[in-house]
Amino acid sequence: MTIHKEGYTSIAIVVLVVFVANALVHYFISDNTFVVWTVYVLSFLLLITILQFFRSPKRRIKTDENLILCPADGKVVVIEETEESEYFCDRRLQVSIFMSPINVHINRNPVSGIVSFFRYHPGKYLVAWHPKSSTLNERTSIAVRTNSGREVLFRQIAGAMARRIVWYVQEGAEVKQGEEFGFIKFGSRVDVFLPLGTQVDVKIGDSVSGGLTVLGRFA
């Protein structure tokens, strides 16, 4: 297992906090075995938690221009027809994935193509499963036009714990299916807006893996 570059600073801070906490305990109350071991255990759990959050597992991703790959690890919480009012301004099929703190938080391109639209919006930090988080929370919206002219929009949405969205794409850039387009720190959500008629290969409640699970197939 490797560690994602977005975790370097956070891990360094946690290591420093653990070191200082343990040093203070040893200096002031080294004779209290219960407190010393409690600090040891809590320090270990904190370090393991932060390391697993920023893990970056290697994945063999098979690309296919007729498929839409899942952009994130997590659980499918929404599959519905809705009005996408920011870019398409028409009816689309929305599939949403909720990412808990224990999931890998790397975001991957669901399709290959050219980034036809990009916007960053500052906003609130409602819980990621809140219906209005898609329009009120801090978020990015990215649309990619495939070689066949189809467009898919996907949206990174910050949650109650996720206070930093990172993206690696810009409008006009060429992106490849399955490659990283961003990262969201801690619990969050990704919405995907597909053309009507797209065959959806997942159902609500399914656990999915970014770049591996097939979200759907173009009609």
User: Which residues, 6 or more positions from 190, have their beta carbon under 8 angstroms from its beta carbon?
Assistant: 71, 72, 74, 96, 97, 99, 107, 154, 155, 156, 157, 184
Euclidean distance between CA atoms 121 and 17, whole angstroms:
32
* CA 125 to chain CA centroid, nearest Å: 15
Count of CB atoms situated within 10 Å of the CB of 20: 10
Which pLDDT belongs to residue 130?
Answer: 57
Q: Model's pTM, two decimal places?
A: 0.85
| pLDDT score for 165 | 86
pLDDT tens across the length of the chain (219 residues): 689 888 898 899 999 999 999 999 988 888 888 988 999 999 999 999 888 888 899 999 999 999 999 999 999 999 999 999 999 999 999 999 998 888 999 999 999 999 999 999 887 666 655 556 566 678 899 999 999 999 999 999 986 655 578 999 999 999 999 999 999 887 688 999 999 999 999 999 999 999 999 999 998
Tokens of 100: 């808990």
Give which of 152, 185, 169, 190 is closest to 74, Cα–Cα: 190
Neighbours of 129 (CB within 10 A): 15
* pLDDT at site 68: 98
Residue 132: what pLDDT? 60
For the annotated catalytic residues, the residue numbers are 188
